[in-house]
Structure formats: C-alpha cells, structure tokens
Amino acid sequence: MSNDFAIGIHDLSFATTEFTLPHAVLAEYNGTEIGKYHVGIGQQSMSVPAADEDIVTMAAAAAAPITARHGADRIRTVVFATESSIDQAKSAGVYVHSLLGLPSACRVVELKQACYGATAALQFAIGLVRRDPAQQVLVIASDVSKYDLDSPGEATQGAAAVAMLVGVDPALVRIEEPSGLFTADVMDFWRPNYRETALVDGQESITAYLQAVEGSWKDYGEQGGRPLEEFAAFCYHQPFTKMAYKAHRHLLNYCGYETDKDAIEDAIGQTTAYNTVIGNSYTAAVYLALAALLDQADDLAGRSIGFLSYGSGSVAEFFAGTVVPGYRQHLRTAAHRAAVDRRKPVGYPEYRELHERSLPADGGDHLTPSQTTGPFRLAALSGHKRIYETR
C-alpha cells in the first residue's frame, strides 16, 4: 500500500469557559500598572472556569461540533493531551468518549508532557492514520492554567480546549515532515501530585523556552526542513502572548536575520488574538494560535506555517504545515468568536472564590453549583466518581 497521501488537520474547534476576569480588574486589585499586563505580557483577560466546568466539559464542548459535522464512524482513536489531569488512572478522554457517544470500537488515551502534549498527540495521530488511512483520530488538548493567588504567574492564567480531527486529505492544514526535536531536563515549571497549583521559575522558563527554540530549529534544519524565508507565519506556544514575540525574535537572531519589528508583527501578530483574551491554556495554546491565524489572515492557501510547540521540563518540536486550498469554507470563525464573546466578566471577589474552590475529597454525595450555560457540565461527585451531564 502506498503511503503517498497528505495527512493533517481536517477540522478544528475550540471552547473556553463561562467566565472571564479582565486584567484591568486584577490590576486594580493588586495596584499594578495596567501596562504591565496589556503591554508587558500582552494579556487583556483570562478565562475562568465555572464551578461545574473542567477539562472534560471544555473538551467535549470543543469536540462536539466536529462529530456533529463529520460523524464518528471513522474515529478509531481519541488522544487527550492535558497537564491538568483529573485522575491518575482514567483518561479524561473516556468521559468525553461517553459524552459524545463515540463508538465502542475506539482506543482512548491521555498524554502528558506539559504544554507540548498536544503536539505529541498530533504526531501520534498522524502515525495511526498513515498505518490505516481509512481511520480518523480525534486529538483534544484541554487545560486549566492555575497558579497561586498573588503570585507572579497569576496574571497568565487561562483555560480552553482545542479539538482537531486528523485524517487523510485534510481540509485545513497538511502536516509536513520532518520535525525538529529537542529535550532537556530543566526545572522551569512543574506541578507535583500533591499541589493544585503549578510552580514556576519565570526567568528560567523563558531561558529554557528560547534554548528549545534554538535546539528544535537546529534539528529541523539538519533533518532537511524548509528555510526560514518560506514560512508565511509562525504559531508559537504562548504562555503569554509576548513570549511568541520573544521566541520569534530569538529565532531570527539565531538564523542571522534582522529583527525588523514590522516583519515580526506580520509573522506573529494574527496568531495572538485568542490567547490574549483567554490566557494560557497550556496544551491548547499553540493550536489556539493556529485558529486565530486561520480565522483572521488573508488567503493562506498553499502557504507554509511554522509551528513551535514547547512544554516545560522540557520538550519542544518545530514542524511545518501547508494550508489547504479552500480551507476558508471549513473554518469555524463565527463559533470561535462567539465562544470568546459569550463569557461573563466577573469581579475580583467572585474570581477569588472560584479560584479557591476545591472539590470535596470525602467520597460523599455532592452536587456541583449550576453555573455554566455550556453544553456539558460536571453535575456531581459521588463515591469519588465524577458525574457529568449533557444539557
């Protein structure tokens, strides 16, 4: 059997939370000059989950439009990438499989490597489709970014899920070979099992990210990848949107190019639109960048996009994709903008209450406050089991 066929992202959909905290509210609370947030890190607001929202409800909400459009008969695998896992044994994807009514003849797994996990899931999906071109793989990236209150990382929080259908003859983006890879053992960001919030060394994380940009690009070139000038745009992982600018400037310097401000804006600017108002969504962030680019850019048909996926700890990958002619007919631009616009702003006390809320751990029966207006919710806990419902 010939393997001479295109594989890539056939459909892409995202979801976020019920609530949002504007950074102006956070700045007023802690006495910070708003420019530190709006300009310094490039963030305007952050998505805040309702009491009955989590990575499963966001993931199902992101994936449901895909199965509604394409059906589920060809989906033989669900790969769920997250660093906000809700269980040490059971994949969050199994709950999504149930909520979406996917066929029982389906494998479901969860992947973890900080914010890089979704790119690992995408590459694994491509391998499965290459082996069996008749099947499709549902890749889901869903995370809630959570740091200690009043910590430096608090302003970068966010939450979202991106779902991608991977298969042959993709309608959106063909994923190319090769990939440039990089791994280094660093402690720039981590969350031990006994903590609900992450630990981060901010400066070390920036240094490690930029080191990974160099390393993955170097390997990409050594594997025979495209030259830098062939790319129309670049989708970087965005723990905060200004990090994408830092990363691209660093790449240009590393490759001996001038760091022209307008050229950097052309390459990066349209990828930040969703991340700047949603905040850091960990595994979903680089693919929110792709959604923003496709939803806003002039016709990209036939153009190449560079992807730099970074996960603290650290693992990175640089790879390329080519936008498919006719892709605009398959975009979900209106739905994506509605997902962002539907969020209700909360004041600082309401946000703090949601942030400090934790699920009961006594194994009793506990109903969850009904807050979300989304299609799926975490309804209760009973006997240490999560009970989800479709609205």
Cβ atoms 269, 292 nearer than 8 A: no
**Per annotation, catalytic residue among 23, 237, 248, 250:** 237
Q: Which of 168-207 are b and which e, b meaning 16 or more Cβ less than 10 Å from the residue's Cβ? A: bebbbbbbbebbbbbbeebebbebeeeeebbebeeeebbe
Q: Does residue 381 sit in helix, strand or coil? A: strand
Residue 214, number of CB atoms within 10 A of its CB = 16
Cβ atoms 260, 267 nearer than 8 A: no
- Residue the block writes with tokens 């496709």: 294
**Per annotation, catalytic residue among 18, 53, 110, 115:** 115
**Per annotation, catalytic residue among 10, 18, 53, 83:** 83
CA distance 22 to 153: 15
CA distance 47 to 186: 28
107-111 and 75-81 strand pairing: parallel
Residue type (1 letter), 196: E
CA distance 92 to 143: 11
CA distance 147 to 155: 9
**pTM score:** 0.97
Residue 128 phi/psi, 5° resolution? Answer: -65, -40
The predicted structure's pLDDT at residue 66: 98
- Residue the block writes with tokens 């082996």: 131
The predicted structure's pLDDT at residue 3: 60
Going by C-beta distance under 8 Å and a sequence separation of 6 or more, which residues neighbour residue 257?
228
Alpha helices in 299-347 (DSSP H): 333-341
Per-residue model confidence as pLDDT tens for the chain (391 residues): 346 799 999 999 999 999 999 999 999 999 999 999 999 999 999 999 999 999 999 999 999 999 999 999 999 999 999 999 999 999 999 999 999 999 999 999 999 999 999 999 999 999 999 999 999 999 999 999 999 999 999 999 999 999 999 999 999 999 999 999 999 999 999 999 999 999 999 899 999 999 999 999 999 999 999 999 999 999 999 999 999 999 999 999 999 999 999 999 999 999 999 999 999 999 999 999 999 999 999 999 999 999 999 999 999 999 999 999 999 999 999 999 999 999 999 999 999 999 999 999 999 999 999 999 999 999 999 999 999 999 9
* 314 preceded by a cis bond (ω within 30 of 0): yes
Tokens of 194: 């006994």
Q: CA-CA distances (angstroms) from residue 263 to 44, 234, 259?
A: 23, 12, 8
Q: CA-CA distances (angstroms) from residue 201 to 195, 198, 276, 299?
A: 16, 10, 22, 40
User: Could you tell me how far CA 313 lies from the centroid of its own chain?
Assistant: 17
CA distance 213 to 112: 20
* 178 preceded by a cis bond (ω within 30 of 0): yes
The predicted structure's pLDDT at residue 2: 43
237: annotated active-site residue: yes
Total length of the chain = 391
The predicted structure's pLDDT at residue 4: 77
- Enumerate the domain spans of the chain: 7-390
Tokens of 90: 């059971």
| Topology classification of domain 7-390 | Peroxisomal Thiolase; Chain A, domain 1 (3.40.47)
83: annotated active-site residue: yes
255: annotated active-site residue: no
